[in-house]
Structure 1
Amino acid sequence: MSAALQDRLQTASTEFQKLQNDLAGAVEARQRLEAQLSENELVKQEFAQLKDSNTVYKLIGPVLVKQDHAEAKSNVETRLEFIRGEIKRVEAQLKDLEEKSESKKMELVEIQTTLQQQLASPQATATAVA
């Protein structure tokens, strides 16, 4: 019985570690998206300050290409919408991973408690007999 519990403990521990790694990756992705959102919001603010006489350029490879104001603003708005959507998706993923991680953590505690009780039982019996 103890060997089966130890196997379960090892499996659950491995699964918990994988969930923790996935959670760390999702947090990192969320941070990257927040940085991109911030950058694009700054660009949007800069566009709001531009006059029609200002020229907007877009970097395409090694070349700066002149771009229409409306098109540039539209591109930034589209990018912002996309990033916000990705943030929502990652937040949902984070919530799911946190729930799974908490569940796996509780399972680990339960297995460890059972294992400790089994290990303590023979010692108590041996002490009572002696």
Structure 2
Amino acid sequence: MADAAARLQELSEQFTALQKELQTAVESRQKLEAQKTENLGVQKEFSNLKEDETIYKLIGPVLLKQDKVEAESTVTGRLEFIGKEISRLENQIKSTQDKLEKKKADIIQAQAAAQAAAQAATPAQVTA
């Protein structure tokens, strides 16, 4: 009986750890989605600029003049990186969700086994 309870406790702790892992991955994905939206806005602004307009990049407290081609390639590179990271995180989220479902099934099975063991240990009562 104590063995079943220990197994159930272990499975529960593993389930909780997987939930935390999932939450962290989802939060990271949300941050990346926000960055993607921001960079898409910047990219849209670049398309509205004329060739002779000046672009400045904020580095610390200083604004530095930047070439339009360089600025566009930087934003495009960021968007590619963000897209790959989002894809990686979505795969991680799917994998973690699958692990959670399996762990949930294991917990249900362990609970059923513990209940069966508890019932088997209890002597049958006869009602008169």
User: Shorter chain as normaliser: what TM range?
Assistant: over 0.9
Q: For residue 69 of structure 1, what is the amino acid of its counterpart? A: K
User: How far has the Cα of 1:121 moved from its partner?
Assistant: 2.8
Runs of 4+ in 1 over 4 A off after TM superposition: none
Report the counterpart of residue 83 of structure 2 in structure 1: 84
Identity of aligned residues (%): 47
Quote the Cα distance in structure 1 between the aligned partners of 2:33 and 2:101: 25
User: How far has the Cα of 1:129 moved from its partner?
Assistant: 8.6
In the superposition, the TM-score normalised over structure 1's length comes to: 0.93
Report the counterpart of residue 105 of structure 1 in structure 2: 104
Q: SS in structure 2 opposite 1:126?
A: coil
Report the counterpart of residue 36 of structure 1 in structure 2: 35
Q: SS in structure 2 opposite 1:66?
A: strand
**CA root-mean-square deviation:** 1.4
Quote the Cα distance in structure 2 between the aligned partners of 1:99 and 1:11: 18
Quote the Cα distance in structure 2 between the aligned partners of 1:20 and 1:105: 11
Q: For residue 126 of structure 1, what is the amino acid of its counterpart? A: A
In the superposition, the TM-score normalised over structure 2's length comes to: 0.95
Quote the Cα distance in structure 2 between the aligned partners of 1:110 and 1:72: 57
For 1:1-130, list aligned pairs within 5 A: 2-123=1-122, 125-128=123-126
